[in-house]
Structure 1
Amino acid sequence: MSSVSDLDAHTGYLLRMVSNAVSQEFARSVAGEGVTVAEWVMLRALYGGDAIAPSALARKMGMTKGAISKLADRLLEKGLIVRVGNAEDKRAHTLSVSDAGAEKVPLLARLADENDAAFFATLGRQDHERFRGLLRALIDKHGLATIPVD
């Protein structure tokens, strides 16, 4: 019988453990503000930019148009984004952050910053920055561009 490596011998497994822990705590934090992590990511993708067609937002976020539509419907219902129709093409519309959404994004960003600071404080500032640099190098090397939503 051949030798089988332990789960914790796999870097991907360790990254997933860390990612899940960071994400789950952040999800609890933003839930207190009435949004999901996916909704936060979409709000942040829209924040500070021009109105954008859902298809372009789907490409930017690496999601399907259907998934974007579902997220948009939830955020519209919460009053955090606005949908503006196109007078020339009744099927076309754009999405942008509403005034209420624009007020909420800095608060959610602060929660994300606090979540990172609390979780990664164990590393110390220098090691944390080095770790982020290593992750960015992996992202660049593998051409990762899809925005993680969940």
Structure 2
Amino acid sequence: MSKTREYAGAVSDLRTHVGFWLRFVSNHVSHAFARKLLLSRVTVAEWVVMREMFDDEETSPGILADRIGITRGGVSKLVDRLVSKELVMRRERADDRRFQSIALTAAGRRLLPQLAALADQNDEEFFHPLTAKERAVLVATMKKLVQAHGLQTVPTE
């Protein structure tokens, strides 16, 4: 008997795993959204940062890092890219140069509703086969898993 046949019963098929199906759908949803964002010159990770900043007049990279659940260095790199695209502005405090304040620029605030519309469109394209009740159950199930496992890092890619 070959080793393949000997172990065939002990090796589960990929498609029997919930994680496989979550990743399968997630990858396609994320990739489609990234393609939609191409013309805006904003990446999915930059969109997440901008959206998290939208409700605040200004914030700090540290607060933003805590909110998103990524490192301060990671936030700093994303903010640097957004500053270079003139979508975010950064100010240092005169009395403490270590403290920075960041805020969306007027251009960033104008762009964000367009990006949110793309996110909404992407969701609709992928999840339209589900009824409103099925969507609510899916989201509630995902939130239950997030809470049960103490997940905090916001997906950025």
TM-score (norm 1): 0.94
The one of 25, 49, 63 equivalent to 2:70 is: 63
Q: 1:97 aligns with which of 78, 86, 104?
A: 104
What are the equivalent positions in structure 2 for 1:14-25 lying under 5 Å apart?
A: 14-25=21-32
CA distance in 2, matches of 1:100, 1:141: 39
Q: Which whole-Å CA distance do the structure 2 matches of 1:134 and 1:69 have between them?
A: 33
Partner SS for 2:97: coil
Number of aligned positions between the proteins: 150
Q: Which of residues 9, 33, 47 in structure 1 aligns to 2:40?
A: 33
Q: Which amino acid aligns with 1:56?
A: I
1:10 aligned residue: 17
Which structure: larger Rg? Answer: 2
How far, CA to CA, are the matches of 2:145 and 2:138 in structure 1? 11
Q: Distance in 2 between matches of 1:143 and 1:110?
A: 30
Aligned-residue identity in percent: 41
Q: Once superposed, what is the RMSD of the aligned Cα atoms?
A: 1.2
Deviations 1:43-98 (A, max 9, x none): 00111114222122112111112211111111001111110110110222111111
* Structure 2: tracts of 5 or more residues without a match: 1-5
Structure 2 distance, partners of 1:74, 1:52, is 17
* 2:137 paired residue number: 130
TM-score by length of 2: 0.90
Report SS of the residue matched to 1:131: helix
User: Which has the larger displacement, 118-127 or 104-113?
Assistant: 118-127
Pairwise CA distance, 1:39 = 0.4
**Structure 1 gaps, min length 5:** none
Give the secondary-structure state (helix, strand or coil) at the position aligned to 1:91: strand
SS of alignment partner, residue 57 of structure 1: helix
Paired residue for 1:112? 119
Counterpart CA distance in 1 for 2:138 and 2:65 is: 29
Partner SS state of residue 131, structure 2: helix
2:61 to 38, 43, 54: 54
Equivalent residue, structure 1, for 2:128: 121
